[in-house]
Chain A
Amino acid sequence: MADMSQSTPTREASPAPSSKPPLRIFRNLNAKLAATPMILTALVIFVGCSVWTIVYSFTNSRLLPKTNFVGFDQYERLWSTKRWMIAVENVAIYGILSLIFTMIIGFFLATLLDRKIRFEDTFRTIFLYPFALSFIVTGLVWQWILNPEFGVQKIVRSLGWESFTFDPLFNAEIVIYGILIAGLWQGTGLVMVIMLAGLRGIPEDIWKAAKVDGIGTAKTYTHIILPMMKPVLVTALVLISAGIVKVYDLVVAQTAGGPGIASDVPAKYVYDSLFQRQNLGQGFAASTMMLVMVVIILIPYFYLQYGGKKAK
């Protein structure tokens, strides 16, 4: 891309003769003014606020932020808090399973829709509509379906299987899987659409070559097409993982972290520390740990994306 800030050739063409050369900072002034909100967002919010929180995570702030630095105390407290450990464990289980299942289901559905079928638009619309709904709506409707008194459990029991038990939202051991079911329902459609776009980008010749070599359809997908879709897969992976660390609304709506604290997640721990329990230091430390998680996830991504060639 040519650098457009060099406006000298056009200035010669402009009819108004400028009396003296403008100051450097005033050159391209309108563009700088117009980009001010973007610059402020980038510097003040994304950099400034994150750094502020990281700095204050080393203080013993409780009700109000204070600059009384206590080293890593907050982090030691955090990692010895049972509730935080449960939250991290939950997000790990939810994250790993939701990554695996979303990728598999998304790819599987995409291959089905890729088979030049009829009603493709109808099926795509059906698989994707949950993505238009909020996590609050998703959580509440699955709370209702998984309600043991009225939902799935009751129906199976009324069919004659009296001892059937399926109450994930009331069982601390499996509550996170109940949330996973809802999360998959909401999010798989998006991955399917991304994968389908990737599949459509595969040249037709590949299919012809595979056919000539006598490779079956399923094997062509898993052994030839899938490795070719690496960029799309990486994109999908990053999207899902970035969403997982932030998971909050879904848990609040579906279980409110319960039963007890069994379905707590880091995002909820942060919110409660900051705005409910007046324990700012813990909230800051926990949110810094969330940032660390995201960084750990993103490093391999940037490595994959820009690893071979030098960036730009």
Chain B
Amino acid sequence: MSTATQSPAKTPRGPKPKRAFSPANIMIYGTLFVVSIYYLLPLYVMVMTSLKDMTEVRMGNIFSPPVEITFEPWVKAWAEACTGINCDGLSRGFWNSVRILIPSVVVSIAVASVSGYALSFWRFKGSELFFNILIVGAFIPYQIMLYPIVIILRELGVYGTLTGLVMVHTIFGMPILTLLFRNYFASVPEELFKAARVDGAGFWGIYVQIMLPMSLPIFVVAIILQVTGIWNDFLFGVVFTKPDIYPMTVQLNNIVNSVQGVKEYNVNMAATLLTGMVPLVIYFVSGKLFVRGIAAGAVKG
């Protein structure tokens, strides 16, 4: 109010304010709304189905909300659903995934951040060549490398073990993560590095005391990227582990697509939601950082 009276002589600047309900706006919001329904529908269907009991699933349609809400399917999916002879539910897969996830994320990020750091400040003969091979390698279909890696892991005595899978995740996370860190460290002023060198700091000293503290945001981006990526992995889990340490995605697929027994769709949907929960929570909590992570991976890749 007061600002308007202060400069009455000035002509208004900027575009003419649009009416809230112009035809164009109605079109835009209408379209966005309709498209949103398509995107939200599967989530809605999953939640609704998982809260019905089987008789209601058979009677009603998948879009109708449950008449009587039951959490039975959730309990069953978590603690009783069967894969083969094991009937201790998805909880087994969940904890397997957690056991895979933590070391994989830590090791892959530690290795890649140091590589990115070396590539930015401590280039040596051939370092750029190796980096370029790494980036091109990111496009090679995994399928062509699966069998030789099985042989290598078997020779090392870690095929089918947690250690082996952690190594595989570290290897295949390396291109994108190294790129992420290299690009980030490239933006760190060179004077900072030179000053530390003059003060006598070495390779690890500069990394731990200077680079680590100032690169926390990129570490968060890398963690988001890796946690969702490794949690959602299916191929490596199924190729490089044995049934007793199958990750959650593999176990979920085995539960839902098993041919034995009566199909319990409500339990299946509860199990599917449980598996999707971890990345979804990360996505909704991290918001813009998640977008930044995939953009960093996408636009530079």
Q: Which of B76-84, B215-223, B227-235 contacts A (4 or more CB under 8 A)?
A: B227-235
Count of residues in B whose CB is under 8 Å from the partner chain: 100
Instruction: Please tell me if the beta carbons of B122 and A134 are within 8 angstroms of each other in the complex.
Output: no
Q: Would you call A271 an interface residue if the criterion is a C-beta within 8 Å of the partner chain's C-beta atoms?
A: yes
Q: Would you call B10 an interface residue if the criterion is a C-beta within 8 Å of the partner chain's C-beta atoms?
A: no
Which residues from chain A contact B226 at a C-beta distance below 8 Å?
A: none
CA distance A283 to B145 in the complex (A): 11
CA distance A288 to B294 in the complex (A): 29
Instruction: Please tell me if the beta carbons of B144 and A28 are within 8 angstroms of each other in the complex.
Output: no
Pick the contact of B186: A1, A34, A133, A158 (CB < 8 A): A1
Pick the contact of B253: A32, A136, A239 (CB < 8 A): A136
Given A5-B125, A126-B40, verify A294-B141 contact (CB < 8 Å): yes
Which residues from chain A contact B29 at a C-beta distance below 8 Å?
A: 117
Which residues from chain A contact B104 at a C-beta distance below 8 Å?
A: none
Instruction: Please tell me if the beta carbons of A151 and B40 are within 8 angstroms of each other in the complex.
Output: no
CA distance A3 to B127 in the complex (A): 11
Count of residues in A whose CB is under 8 Å from the partner chain: 104
Pick the contact of B174: A30, A41, A54, A235 (CB < 8 A): A41
Interface residues of B in 271-301 (CB under 8 A from A): 272, 275-276, 279-280, 282-284, 287, 290-291, 294-295, 298-299, 301
Instruction: Please tell me if the beta carbons of B111 and A37 are within 8 angstroms of each other in the complex.
Output: yes
Interface residues of B in 110-167 (CB under 8 A from A): 111-112, 114-115, 117-125, 127, 130-131, 133-134, 136-137, 139-149, 151-152
Instruction: Please tell me if the beta carbons of A239 and B295 are within 8 angstroms of each other in the complex.
Output: no
Q: Would you call B252 an interface residue if the criterion is a C-beta within 8 Å of the partner chain's C-beta atoms?
A: yes
Known: A43-B130, A130-B42, A253-B256. 12 other contacts (CB 8 A): A4-B123, A28-B124, A37-B174, A38-B111, A49-B148, A112-B28, A134-B232, A135-B234, A137-B276, A147-B62, A239-B298, A286-B143
User: Residues on A close to B: CB < 8 A?
Assistant: 1-5, 7, 10, 13-15, 27-28, 30-32, 34-35, 37-39, 41-50, 52-54, 65, 109, 112-113, 115, 117, 121, 123-138, 140-145, 147, 150-151, 154-155, 158, 185, 189-190, 193-194, 197, 217, 232, 235-236, 238-239, 242, 245-246, 248-249, 252-253, 256, 266-267, 270-271, 274-275, 280, 283-284, 286-288, 290-291, 294, 298
17 intermolecular pairs with C-beta atoms under 8 Å apart: A13-B198, A37-B174, A46-B133, A117-B32, A125-B284, A133-B276, A133-B279, A137-B232, A143-B256, A144-B265, A154-B61, A155-B63, A197-B295, A232-B299, A235-B301, A246-B141, A287-B141
User: Residues on B close to A: CB < 8 A?
Assistant: 24-25, 28-29, 31-32, 35-36, 38-43, 45-46, 49, 57-58, 61-63, 111-112, 114-115, 117-125, 127, 130-131, 133-134, 136-137, 139-149, 151-152, 170-171, 174, 178, 186, 190, 193-194, 197-198, 200, 202-204, 228, 231-235, 239, 249, 252-253, 256-257, 265, 268-269, 272, 275-276, 279-280, 282-284, 287, 290-291, 294-295, 298-299, 301
